Amino acid sequence: MYGDADNALPISNSGMFYQSAFGGPTVAGMNPAFFPISPSMVYDSFVTIGFETNVGNAMLDIGADFTNFEAGGAIWTDNGSWFATPDDSQVYEVGGQVLIGRFTVATGEGVFGTINMQGKNADDSNWYATDVNFIEVSPHNTSHFLYSIHFAVNVGKRGTFVLSDADSLNGNDLPFCRSHVH
């Protein structure tokens, strides 16, 4: 996942991303040992390659400034990336997909943006997918306050962006949702 001078990478929302005080902008902040201490941490928004926690995770990020994202705002970079190498098991597809982020928003809000991807084919040649646009809007009429969107790249159709999983969440333990639900 990358943004450069020719192809910026923006991921935004129509409200705010939920960010736990105990998580972080990348999967590196998702330590499952803290989930019992801070249950709302499991709903934290973050970027990743393949894994949902930091256990065994070799993902790196370079150049991307996640300050705005950590405050609930957008991710935007024209000189940054998050990645794992082809030697890392997390880059391999599961069910034809590789997880690239979890974004939690209030019910009725959406997540949208443009991503750029680079990877390796089995023959070691590179593949690229640039300016891949996506939009996902959570349901409007649910009894839940938050909607967690797990995005994954469909490996079988490079360059397509698909929703791999979406879970409605009960927001009773999440102070963010009470002040941001419309």
The mean pLDDT value of the chain amounts to 78
By the 8 A CB rule, do 34 and 28 touch? no
Alpha-carbon distance 28 to 57, whole Å?
Answer: 8
Mean of pLDDT values over 17-41: 94
Which is nearest to 41 in space by CA: 18, 60, 20, 26?
A: 20
Whether 61 has a pLDDT exceeding 60, the answer reads yes
Residue type at position 17: F
Q: How many residues does the chain have?
A: 182
Q: Report the domain count for the chain.
A: 1
For 179, left (φ over 0), alpha (ψ -120 to 50), or beta?
alpha
Q: Work out the average pLDDT over 155-159.
A: 43
Can you tell me the mean pLDDT for 78-94? 89
Mean pLDDT value of segment 132-142: 70
Q: Check residue 168 and give its pLDDT.
A: 42
CB 13 within 8 A of CB 147: no
Which two three-digit tokens encode residue 75? Answer: 């991710």
Q: Which domain holds residue 79?
A: 2-180
Q: Predicted confidence band at 141 (pLDDT cuts at 50, 70, 90)?
A: low
CA distance 60 to 63: 10
Residue 93 in tokens: 């597809």
What pLDDT score was predicted for residue 151?
A: 59
The first and second tokens of residue 154, run together, are 């469909």
Q: Which two tokens stand for residue 99?
A: 């997880």
